[in-house]
Amino acid sequence: PKAVGRDFLATGDVGYIAASIKTVQDTRVGDTVTLAANPASEPLSGYKQMNPMVFAGLYPIESNKYNDLREALEKLQLNDASLQFEPETSQALGFGFRCGFLGLLHMDVIQERLEREF
């Protein structure tokens, strides 16, 4: 199919927008996108933010791999908006991340993907 410019998308249409969003953390799944000239009076209903139920600290084996771990977590977050993480420091383990997961299975899947893909 050939790309066709449109002013709006209707039900069933597939499209994309270009925005000046710098990081994935600036957006959330379910965000309502409107025009500045014609804003929506309220956001679309039906979307709830997922709250993590299980937390774990993830630390790189070698301290110089901290940025690699951060980039890997950011890439995983592109496909899994429920993954949450923030920097954490431990005197024993050094620099790492405090990660929030939906459950133990979610934590196992993320750990497996980190080991396999990165």
CATH number for the domain harbouring residue 98: 3.30.70.870
In this structure, is residue 59 part of a structural domain?
Answer: yes
**Is 79 among the domain residues?**
yes
Decide if 45 is inside a domain: no
Say which residue, 17 or 114, is predicted with more confidence: 114
Task: Check: CB of residue 93 under 8 Å from CB of residue 59.
Answer: yes
Determine, yes or no, domain membership for 29: no
The DSSP output letter for 24 is G
Residue 9 lies in a domain: no
16 part of a folded domain: no
Calpha distance 76→78 (Å, rounded): 5
pLDDT band with cut points at 50, 70 and 90 for residue 23: confident
Per-residue pLDDT tens for 38-48? 888 888 887 78
3 contacts 56 by C-beta, under 8 angstroms: no
Count of structural domains within the chain: 1
The per-residue DSSP string of 33-101 comes to ---SSS--SSPPSS--PPPP-EEEEE--SSGGGHHHHHHHHHHHHHH-TT-EEEEEEETTTEEEEEEEE
pTM: 0.74
In a domain, 7, yes or no: no
| Residue 36 burial (10 A CB sphere; 0-12, 13-18, 19+) | exposed
Mean pLDDT of the chain: 90
Is the pLDDT at 81 greater than 80? The verdict is yes
* Top-confidence residue, 27 or 56: 56
Boundaries of domain holding 84: 54-117
Q: How many whole angstroms separate alpha carbon 64 and alpha carbon 79?
A: 26
Whether residue 90 lies inside any domain: the answer is yes
